[in-house]
Structure 1
């Protein structure tokens, strides 16, 4: 004789059974977020309501263009954060400031290099001509990020901007004023 499996616990039976109906004379309100189970009459009425129609191709193109514009403007949203980070790292050569500048150069270059892959989900026959302006704005925003990196490298004194940086026979720039006396240097 085969052994009978034990009966399921009471909580399994309670979970699988329908919830008890609410008494008509209940004076307390349902808690926030609670939705009572619908009766069969309510279910039949809700099934008669028309189903949501699929969006038309024009509506989908409009939605894709909105999302593409959001993606194109996204690098500009990073500019203030990166500018504050560049200001906070100072103008001296430190490992942290070097890594920040490296990131400012690497990120825009990789983003522009992968522009076709980034905007491929938005490419349809209806949006292909309008995506050119979006891609141009995306490239411009990434060039602003690259410009911030160039500004930081110049602030650190790493850009060759004087004649003495290029010509061996030129002397260093002489300053007309100094903040500290020459003897202290």
Structure 2
């Protein structure tokens, strides 16, 4: 309140600029604040929406930025089947899946504030402007998941060869029997 009185009663009022965010009063007794017009609200909303979209793109590309670090960590974990390398692979395979399932909660804070309509009402926020950042996020998570699958393949954990599926193969009955076997078995 001191600053408000000082500013209103200051004879050198023009020489010192008001601090940022300071609202001027009409008189000493009452503080009247002019309501912002719809144009001002629309400009603020547009600026906030642009900032939210920039932050959404930063979040969407974030997993791709960690891809080289994850690759180096996998390289140094070795190709043997040990608890450390299996734990890293487990995190690389489950992390992207969990992130994709929680994508709406992840991008909730970046939903743009809707602009006010001409009748003064405000619509509900939508995820439609965030479709491209969300797709980029899913793609980057897919890259992390594929890195984990590649590491599983190089370690030999994935069943990729025919020898890995021998337990599921069935033997066919021989098409003909020898005479000795037929006479012994009846």
Report if TM-score (shorter chain) is over 0.5: yes
1:109 aligns with 2:97: yes
Aligned runs of 1:75-114 on 2, under 5 Å?
Answer: 75-114=63-102
Aligned runs of 1:170-185 on 2, under 5 Å?
Answer: none
Q: Tell which deviates more after alignment, 88-97 or 54-63.
A: 54-63
CA RMSD after TM alignment: 3.0
Aligned runs of 1:49-64 on 2, under 5 Å?
Answer: 56-64=44-52
Distance apart, 1:163 and its partner CA:
0.8
- Structure 2 spans left out of the alignment, 5+ residues: 1-9, 24-39, 116-125, 170-186
CA distance 1:168–1:110, change in 2 (3 Å): closer
CA distance 1:68–1:164, change in 2 (3 Å): same
Distance apart, 1:168 and its partner CA:
3.6
SS of 2:16 mapped into structure 1: helix
CA distance 1:122–1:48, change in 2 (3 Å): closer
Q: Distance in 1 between matches of 2:136 and 2:93?
A: 18
SS of 1:56 mapped into structure 2: helix
How many residues were matched structurally?
A: 132
CA distance 1:101–1:59, change in 2 (3 Å): same
TM-score, length of structure 2 as denominator length: 0.62
1:131 aligns with 2:127: no
Q: 1:46 maps to what in 2?
A: 17
SS of 1:107 mapped into structure 2: helix
CA distance 1:169–1:49, change in 2 (3 Å): closer
1:118 aligns with 2:88: no
